Amino acid sequence: MRKLTYYIAISIDGFIAGPHGETEFYPVSKELLEHMSTEYPDLSASHSERARNRRTQCAFRHDHHGRATYDPALKEGITSPYPHLRQYVVSKSLTTSPHPEVTVVADEPVGVVRKLKAEEGMEIYLAGGGRLAGALFRRSTNSS
């Protein structure tokens, strides 16, 4: 079974973003950037020369009330942020994919993740989406 990696910035009081979706207040140290580019180069944005499939094969981005983790890329004109990965955006409001390499998952994202985990291959990466991460965590703890 494939490993699912959830990478998220979170405040000490448990918030992923500010009241209006702000994330710029999270400090990013040089050490963290070096660690991420060394250990997870495949999670770099599409414009990065270091992006390659070393550990990860699929990327999930979650939309809850405004595609909080996908919208920043879309606003910059990046419709396929991880072109070297299989990409999924979990969304109720995005009805069609803005790019042929991005699959929109409207219903049953937990089921989609389960299917992906059962496949042979490298890790799966979940970016953002506290609700999806919570649902996946509840499902994993309830099934053991």
CATH number of domain containing 132: 3.40.430.10
Find where tokens 């992906």 sit.
116
Residue 81: which of 66, 63, 98 has the closest Cα?
Answer: 98
Q: Which domain holds residue 128?
A: 4-142
Q: Give this prediction's pTM.
A: 0.76
- CA 123, 25, 21, 100 torsion: positive or negative? negative
Q: How confident is the model at residue 18 (pLDDT cuts 50, 70, 90)?
A: confident
Q: What is the DSSP letter of 41?
A: G
- Domain total of the chain: 1
More confidently predicted of 48 and 40:
40
Distance of alpha carbon 81 from alpha carbon 72, whole angstroms? 10
Is the pLDDT at 84 greater than 70? The verdict is yes
